[in-house]
Amino acid sequence: MIRLLLIAAAIALLAVAPFHFYTVTLMTIMCFVVFACSFNLLLGYSGLLCFGHAMFFGGAAYVTGYILKSTPVSIELAILAGAAVSGLLGLLIGMLTIRRQGIQFAMITLAFSQFIYFILLQSPFTGGEDGMQAIPRNPMFGILDVTDNFTYYYVVMAITLVSVFVYYRVVHSPYGEILKAVRDNQPRVESLGFDPERIKLLAFVISATMAGVAGGMKATVYQFATLTDASWPISAEVILMTLLGGLGTLLGPIFGAGIIIWLNDYLAGFGEWALISQGVILLVVIVFFRRGFVGELSALATFLANRRKPAAKADAPKPASAH
Amino acid sequence: MVTMADAVPAGAAASATGADYALVGEGLTKVFGGFAAVKDVDLAVRRGSIHALIGPNGAGKTTCFNLLTKTLQPTKGKILLNGEDISRLRSAEVARRGLVRSFQISAIFPNLTVLENVRVALQAPYGTGYHFWRSLRAVAPLNRRAEELLEQVGIVESRGITAAELSYGKKRALEIATTLALEPQVMLLDEPTAGMGHEDIEPITDLIRKVAVGRTVLLVEHNLSVVSTLCDRITVLQHGEVLAEGTYDEVSSDQRVIEAYMGGVDE
């Protein structure tokens, strides 16, 4: 009940936010919330460190942009198509990499993302170094005009809410239970008769598809797609967001993305200081708050709850954290 | 030579229709980079028995065990489960055929709750493992069976806590409950009492005896007092080869076994 009220309050806040804040910043945050959730699904819940997640984000941004520029297809279908292409790319790359573990997996995904970056740089349809400019926002469902940022904000909000729900559903599904088991102890899952590589491949494809939704949204919010979207600093930024928010916590990536984008925006006037402060924040989080923003908060809540009932022994049930 | 007379020749085991022997290894050999960790081992586990694999350190017990569980592929030799050749199958496939192993290090999922640990195993035959679009209500029907299994190993009161918080002995009990969830015909236990204090050993030994009813169990074990009270039949390995096989009394009075163990202590 409390949880439902909190969700309703959060949605209400999102709905009134554009009256008080700059809509483009808010939309950027939401794009990266979806992107960071997709990344957390991999690193936080499958234990896979993909160091080239930007290839799915940037790749989908270009595909969505290209469809909108060259066809009259409605905007939501263009975003879905971008996501589908990212999902297929994820399937292909996943099949080639999923057997690798740890640092090997990270390095191979990085190599593939550099390869995708190079293809995007060389392909004629992307506009190369100039990027893809003036992506139109075709009417939604073919009728609803979304060229105005204020209107489009609510479309982005709806897509974000659906994506976050999908992310929540995957984590709390029968499959999610097996996925977490693979993260905890892969040989044991295999000995129980599952195929852990197929389990992880599915997570990789879902994650790539979600990253594609985020990339497609970004391309339509800014109405351009650039090589930066597919570059490794974006891959690094999403890792930073996930770690800062709290790895393997449901709400972590949402807070992480919000904090980083807000900081980038707030510190934009300070030039390089924005990057330096990001570095300092990451350092502080890694050294002092290893569980990240949400992870530390829920640990604190658990600690306080345990202190309130001192009778609790070591074997007493731990209250399930609310995130 | 008492022991060899009782040992089952591999040929005989293979020609048996699989009705007498649940698990048979024939001429098993595993070579690691030129070194043969296991050489031409024949092993037959009688249906419904508790069979132990013992031997001094470095005798090839764990390698042999890993071959039988398909964790490793044999360089040479054949493995039969109920008379069916499983030599080329993967470990996930043999698990679905009723041969399930445990691990030396407690093979639990530390960040899942105790109940979820067992439910993961129950999901394997239930077929919901890839259902990412459904809520956990889809697997709620499994909770009762999971609780029954936890009850059977005596840790049902811990069902809601994170598995990492269990004591060492309870982790092993949880692992056995998870293994039982697959209703295996053949259970392979890798050093079930490894690293345990004596206060934990007896409950686990009792538990193994209890769950072995109606099943076939093969275990690797260091603790000879556990082997002597628990096992019907024992195979002794040394330098990757079968040194002796028989009941505990037969094996423990075998001169070569005594020498192997004394030698093992001296090393």
- Domain holding A135: CATH number? 1.10.3470
What span, in angstroms and rounded, lies between the C-alpha atoms of A123 and A121?
6
Question: Is A315 in Cβ contact with B165 (below 8 Å)?
Answer: yes
The predicted pLDDT at position A314 comes to 44
The predicted pLDDT at position A246 comes to 86
What span, in angstroms and rounded, lies between the C-alpha atoms of A208 and A220?
18
In a domain, A46, yes or no: yes
The predicted pLDDT at position B240 comes to 84
The predicted pLDDT at position B267 comes to 39
Tens-place pLDDT, residues B137-166: 888 889 999 999 999 888 899 989 999 999
Q: Which residues contact A142 (CB under 8 A, 6 or more apart)?
A: A74
Question: Is B136 in Cβ contact with A174 (below 8 Å)?
Answer: yes
Is some CB atom of chain B closer than 8 A to the CB atom of A145?
A: no
Pairing of strands B186-190, B35-46: unpaired
Quote the DSSP letter at residue B232: S
For A195, A196, B55, the CA distances from A104, given in Å and listed in that order, are 20, 17, 37
**Considering only CA atoms, which of B192, B218, B227 is closest in space to residue B48?**
B218
- ipTM over 0.90? The verdict is no
* Contact assessment for residue B29 and residue B77, using Cβ atoms and an 8 Å cutoff: yes
For B68, B95, B109, B240, B256, the CA distances from B28, given in Å and listed in that order, are 9, 20, 32, 10, 22
In a domain, A97, yes or no: yes
Q: How many CB atoms lie within 10 A of CB A170?
A: 21
What span, in angstroms and rounded, lies between the C-alpha atoms of B183 and A238?
43
For A31, A82, A141, A221, the CA distances from A146, given in Å and listed in that order, are 17, 19, 10, 10
The tokens of A140 are what? 């939604």
A194: left (phi over 0), alpha (psi -120 to 50) or beta: beta
Does the pLDDT of residue A237 top 60, yes or no?
yes
Quote the DSSP letter at residue B41: E
Task: Please state the rounded mean pLDDT for residues A148-175.
Answer: 93
Does the pLDDT of residue A317 top 60, yes or no?
no
Q: Give every residue of chain B whose pLDDT is below 70, as ranges.
A: 1-19, 262-267
Task: Please state the rounded mean pLDDT for residues A108-121.
Answer: 93
Mean pLDDT comparison of A275-279, A311-315, B90-94, B148-152, highest-scoring range = B148-152
The predicted pLDDT at position B262 comes to 67
Q: Please name the helix (run of DSSP H) or strand (run of DSSP E) that holds residue B143, with its range, or none.
A: helix B143-153
* Contact assessment for residue A238 and residue A34, using Cβ atoms and an 8 Å cutoff: no
Q: Which residues contact A81 (CB under 8 A, 6 or more apart)?
A: A63, A64, A67, A73
Question: Is A184 in Cβ contact with B111 (below 8 Å)?
Answer: yes
* Contact assessment for residue A225 and residue A58, using Cβ atoms and an 8 Å cutoff: yes
**Å between A203 CA and nearest CA of chain B:** 9
Does the pLDDT of residue A308 top 80, yes or no?
no
Q: Which domain holds residue A40?
A: 23-308
Q: Please name the helix (run of DSSP H) or strand (run of DSSP E) that holds residue A171, with its range, or none.
A: helix A149-171
Is some CB atom of chain B closer than 8 A to the CB atom of A174?
A: yes
The predicted pLDDT at position A312 comes to 43
Split at pLDDT 50, 70, 90, the class of A309 is low
Identify the CATH class of B49-62+94-108+166-266: alpha beta
The predicted pLDDT at position A222 comes to 92
What letter represents residue A204's amino acid? Answer: F
What span, in angstroms and rounded, lies between the C-alpha atoms of A215 and A61?
5
**Considering only CA atoms, which of B42, B57, B48 is closest in space to residue B7?**
B42
Lowest average pLDDT, out of A63-67, A116-120, B80-84, B193-197, goes to: B193-197
Residues forming beta bridges with residue A144, ordered by sequence position:
A140
Residues of chain A positioned with their CB less than 8 A from the CB of B71: 187, 191
User: What is the pLDDT of chain A when averaged over all its residues?
Assistant: 87
The predicted pLDDT at position A57 comes to 96
Is some CB atom of chain B closer than 8 A to the CB atom of A193?
A: yes
* Chain B positions touching chain A (beta carbons under 8 Å): 69, 71, 90-93, 95-96, 100-101, 103, 107-112, 116-117, 119-121, 123-125, 128-136, 138-139, 157-158, 160-162, 165, 178, 182
Tens-place pLDDT, residues A245-269: 888 888 888 988 988 888 888 877 7
Helix orientation angle between A149-171 and A23-46, rounded to the nearest 10 degrees: 10
Lowest average pLDDT, out of A151-155, A311-315, B157-161, goes to: A311-315
| Domain spans, chain B | 49-62+94-108+166-266
* Contact assessment for residue A41 and residue A199, using Cβ atoms and an 8 Å cutoff: no
The predicted pLDDT at position A166 comes to 95
Domain count of the fold of chain A: 1
